[in-house]
């Protein structure tokens, strides 16, 4: 996976909704957070070239990506 794209997704794309959710109540951010989360998952699948992987492997990849960096993940939101 391209390091720059991965870094941009982790630092910018996933940080913005995290900021919203810290600053506003859940009922205000729920719909936007769900939409952004789905888009981040699509982008991750594209970056990791998961289109030809079986569904269980794609799910495992998304799960591992949400781990902290020191645990081998990418620190992306679930």
Mean of all residue pLDDT scores within the chain: 80
- Does the structure show a pLDDT above 80 at 78? no
Where are the strands (E) in 4-73, listed by range? none
Q: How far apart are CA 35 and CA 24, in angstroms?
A: 16
Q: Is residue 78 part of a domain?
A: no
Q: What is the pLDDT of residues 10-39, one digit of tens each?
A: 777 777 777 888 888 888 888 988 888 788
- Does the structure show a pLDDT above 70 at 40? yes
Contact assessment for residue 20 and residue 33, using Cβ atoms and an 8 Å cutoff:
yes
Q: Is residue 17 part of a domain?
A: yes
Q: Is residue 25 part of a domain?
A: yes
Model confidence pTM above 0.75: no
Number of domains the chain contains: 1
Q: Domain range for residue 10?
A: 3-71
Q: How far apart are CA 35 and CA 2, in angstroms?
A: 24
State the pLDDT at residue 76.
Answer: 65
Q: Is residue 59 part of a domain?
A: yes
């Amino acid at each position: 996976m391209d390091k720059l794209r991965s870094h941009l997704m982790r630092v910018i794309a996933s940080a913005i909704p995290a900021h919203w959710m810290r600053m506003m109540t859940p009922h205000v951010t729920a719909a936007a957070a769900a939409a952004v989360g789905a888009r981040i998952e699509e982008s991750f699948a594209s970056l990791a070239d998961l289109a030809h992987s079986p569904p269980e492997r794609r799910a495992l990849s998304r799960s591992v990506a949400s781990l902290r960096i020191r645990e081998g993940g990418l620190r992306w939101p679930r």
